[in-house]
């Protein structure tokens, strides 16, 4: 049970109400499994405080939520978090990222979502501020070295551009994205399917320490919680909702990354996918997203920035290789040029026959081409200039 004070001044009332809300939310974050469909259905119209008070009545029909009750102690969880260098951020806090409230609606559609009661956050930066310009970068655990390279490069370039990378805590693309961001001037957030004080997978613990040192570890699960398959799926909705768009880099056809992409679609955020060799199973998921699910093909940071920016900003200019002088020539000039020999000079009458143009036109063209230093007159005939011969 949570002890709720009953101070009388208005200021204290407000503080108390807020404290009670925070306690209730901390409690619910341990009692209620993230994304539990029965909870969304049963308590749709209640505030967290009302839900928490109701659950404590142990009324009939609430058995589903009763088994964990004896073990719930939000004050202990908050203290445990504090000791681990973490805090519990709830709606109304300065740090709360309002964009994830989109999950209230997205959750109702699928009956699997819902806004988290709060977010356990470890690390110094302000969560809301870090997420203001942010991209989810997700993909396969068993990625190829190509995928790892692409993730690290894109994440680093986005970081240098001031865009925060958000990913999970897995091996493969997740870890490569974090490492890329940490190597840049930007920062990174890992959203976990376990407590922010739990290292899973354990061999990423050094990486988690670095992320908590420079960026943030975030979870809707209280300290000490272990990850489960369902928690990974529920976690994916947070990654999608918290960011301005999701970039998938290598994903098998069935994968958590495609699940995150699906949440991103449900939240109305753009989904981008990085293509790869068609010979790689790891790119099947990204090709599927582009072909069947209208994801934007992304090959560069410019593509990503364009997709997540307000309409008309950061428009990608695709690399058109520089036009050569020859590209600018009109049809007759090109035909004449095509007919000029490389080695042995040829008279203009011969060039006219080869080009299939009349002599006057060819004579005129040859003079224009000579002015552009593309052809040269030597030994009573025309041949390509050395400049032109060296041109690509």
Which spans of this chain sit near a second copy (rule: CB under 8 A)?
31-33, 36-38, 63-68, 71, 112, 146, 149-150, 228-231, 252-254, 274-279, 283-284, 287-288, 290-292, 296-300, 303, 318-321, 331, 334-335, 338-339, 349, 352-353, 355-361
| Cβ nearer to a second copy, comparing 202 with 320 | 320
Close Cβ partners of 280 (under 8 Å, ≥ 6 residues apart) = 144, 146, 250
| Cβ nearer to a second copy, comparing 76 with 210 | 76
State the nearest-atom distance from the C-beta of 129 to a second copy, in Å.
Answer: 30
DSSP of 162-203: TPEEEE-S-TTHHHHHHHHHHTSSS-EEEEPSS-TT--SSGG
State the nearest-atom distance from the C-beta of 179 to a second copy, in Å.
Answer: 17
Long-range contacts of 356-359 (CB under 8 A, 24+ apart): 357/332
CB 300 within 8 A of CB 316: yes
In the three-class reduction of DSSP (H, G, I as helix; E, B as strand; rest coil), residue 111 is classed as coil
| Cβ nearer to a second copy, comparing 58 with 386 | 58
State the nearest-atom distance from the C-beta of 19 to a second copy, in Å.
Answer: 25
How far is the CA of 309 from the CAs of 189, 243, 317, in angstroms? 20, 12, 15
DSSP category for residue 35 = T
Rounded Cα distance between 74 and 21, Å, is 11
| Cβ nearer to a second copy, comparing 99 with 280 | 280
E-assigned strand segments in 162-295: 164-167, 188-191, 216-219, 246-249, 271-274
| Cβ nearer to a second copy, comparing 165 with 234 | 234
The dihedrals phi and psi of 16, each to the nearest 5 degrees, come to -65, -45
Instruction: Report residue 52 as tokens.
Output: 């928490």
State the nearest-atom distance from the C-beta of 96 to a second copy, in Å.
Answer: 25
State the nearest-atom distance from the C-beta of 172 to a second copy, in Å.
Answer: 16
| Cβ nearer to a second copy, comparing 109 with 279 | 279
| Cβ nearer to a second copy, comparing 4 with 328 | 328
State the nearest-atom distance from the C-beta of 233 to a second copy, in Å.
Answer: 9
Torsion of CA 61, 63, 68, 72, to 10 degrees: 40
State the nearest-atom distance from the C-beta of 321 to a second copy, in Å.
Answer: 5
């Amino acid at each position: 049970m949570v002890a709720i004070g009953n101070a009388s001044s208005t200021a204290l009332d407000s503080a108390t109400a807020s404290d009670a809300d925070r306690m209730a939310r901390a409690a619910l974050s341990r009692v209620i499994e993230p994304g539990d469909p029965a909870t969304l259905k049963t308590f749709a119209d209640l505030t967290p405080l009302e839900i928490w008070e109701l659950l404590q009545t142990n009324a009939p029909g609430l058995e589903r939520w009763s088994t964990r009750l004896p073990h719930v102690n939000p004050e202990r969880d908050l203290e445990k978090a504090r000791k681990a260098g973490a805090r519990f951020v709830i709606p109304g806090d300065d740090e709360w990222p309002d964009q994830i409230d989109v999950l209230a609606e997205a959750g109702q559609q699928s009956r699997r979502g819902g806004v988290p009661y709060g977010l356990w956050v470890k690390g110094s930066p302000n969560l809301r501020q870090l997420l203001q310009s942010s991209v989810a970068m997700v993909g396969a655990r068993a990625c190829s070295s190509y995928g790892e390279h692409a993730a690290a490069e894109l994440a680093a370039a986005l970081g240098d551009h001031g865009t925060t990378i958000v990913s999970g805590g897995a091996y493969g693309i997740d870890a490569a994205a974090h490492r890329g961001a940490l190597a840049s001037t930007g920062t990174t957030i890992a959203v976990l399917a376990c407590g922010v004080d739990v290292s899973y997978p354990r061999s990423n613990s050094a990486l988690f320490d670095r992320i908590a040192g420079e960026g943030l570890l975030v979870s809707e699960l209280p300290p000490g919680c272990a990850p489960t398959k369902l928690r990974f799926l529920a976690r994916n909705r947070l990654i999608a909702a918290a960011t301005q768009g999701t970039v998938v880099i290598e994903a098998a056809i069935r994968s958590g990354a495609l699940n995150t992409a699906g949440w991103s679609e449900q939240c109305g955020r753009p989904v981008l996918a990085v293509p790869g060799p068609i010979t790689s199973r790891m790119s099947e998921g990204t090709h599927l997203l582009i072909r069947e699910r209208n994801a934007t093909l992304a090959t560069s940071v410019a593509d990503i920035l364009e997709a997540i920016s307000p309409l008309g900003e950061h428009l990608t200019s695709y690399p058109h290789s520089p036009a050569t002088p020859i590209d600018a020539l009109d049809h007759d000039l090109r035909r004449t040029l095509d007919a000029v020999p490389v080695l042995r000079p040829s008279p203009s009458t011969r060039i006219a026959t080869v080009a299939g143009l009349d002599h006057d036109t060819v004579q005129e063209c040859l003079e224009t081409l000579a002015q552009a230093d593309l052809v040269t007159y030597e030994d009573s005939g025309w041949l390509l200039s050395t400049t032109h011969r060296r041109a690509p």
